[in-house]
Amino acid sequence: MASALCYLCFDVWLVQEAAAEAGLPVVILDRPNPITGERVEGNLVETECASFVGIHPLPIRHGLTIGELGRVFAVDRGWAQPLVVPMRGWRRGAWFDQTGLPWVLPSPNLPMLESVTRYPGTCLVEGADLSEGRGTTRPFELIGAPWIDPFRMARELAARGLPGVAFRPTWFTPTFSKHQSVCCGGVQIHVLDRAMLRPVALGIHLLHALRSHGPVDFAWREAANGTCFVDRLLGSDQPRRQLDAGAPAEDVLLSWDTQATSFEERTQVHRLYE
């Protein structure tokens, strides 16, 4: 869940925590959720896997604005409710390019709305020794590694019939980050229908396909303390353990719709916009 977008969410969490300790009020000037506030996807962060990139039990795609998140954080943590200054004219189903507002990069590696549209899923590739396209002009759109056969990988992913997305075989050479200056085979992920796309499921299918494609070369990135970084991104070690045991992507995703629906129902009262 790591990115400038998620850091913004958890910056709010940390500000509220510090304000609660100091007995100070919090005012949040609300902003749009760039990929709409209609969809909730993913599993919830487990306490034992909480970190700065996943500090609260949220699904990867939470469907809330930062003001609404602040209201949820306050109730869950027993803090005073923040004063949220709401937006005028925003609808839950609006994508950022439908707001009339100029796009401001939340991160150098999220240059376009299209980058953010894929990000809830392709960010999971950061947890493995694979390039997620950092060091190219298409971060989180180009996915690959030196040992990947791009044509075989594109066929394998296309055969899964994932909605709203297509995969083009490609080669790319990152100028920095993982596999710097090394030619990588992989895929370019094209979003054909963003309303149909389920980016979180896409991310799990990517990890499953990439791991199956090169079981000897594929490796999880380890943090300094020996834990796997993907566990922090997902807020749980269960998905990694399932993939390592050979479980299909569908089995990993099996309970996630239930978790997402439960979160959506629980936080309905904190939503400020129709």
CA nearest neighbour of 247 among 274, 207, 220, 194: 207
Q: Which two tokens stand for residue 256?
A: 């996630």
Residue 3 has what pLDDT? 40
CA nearest neighbour of 201 among 41, 4, 25: 41
For 241, phi then psi, to 5°, come to -65, -40
Q: What is the average pLDDT across 30-35?
A: 95
The count of C-alpha atoms lying within 13 angstroms of the C-alpha of 22, restricted to the half-sphere facing its C-beta, is: 9
Residue with tokens 């796997």: 228
Alpha carbon distances (Å) from 232 to 49, 80, 160? 6, 28, 26
**Non-local CB neighbours of 25 within 8 Å, separated by 6+ positions:** 19, 80, 82, 83
169-225: pLDDT as tens digits:
999 999 999 999 999 999 999 999 999 999 999 999 999 999 999 999 999 999 777
Q: What is the rounded CA–CA span in Å between residue 39 and residue 92?
A: 9
Is domain 4-270 given the CATH code 3.90.1150.140 in the classification? yes
Task: Round the average pLDDT of the chain to a whole number and report it.
Answer: 93
43-94: pLDDT as tens digits:
999 988 887 777 899 999 999 999 999 999 999 999 999 999 999 999 999 9
CA nearest neighbour of 148 among 215, 200, 205: 215
Q: Which two tokens stand for residue 91?
A: 């609808």
**Non-local CB neighbours of 154 within 8 Å, separated by 6+ positions:** 167, 168, 169, 187
Q: What is the rounded CA–CA span in Å between residue 142 and residue 113?
A: 15
Q: Provide the pLDDT confidence category of residue 2 given band limits of 50, 70 and 90.
A: very low
Helices (H), 165-224: 199-213
Which H helix or E strand runs over 234?
Answer: helix 229-234
Q: What is the rounded CA–CA span in Å between residue 167 and residue 86?
A: 39
Q: Which two tokens stand for residue 55?
A: 């500090």
Q: What is the average pLDDT across 18-44?
A: 96
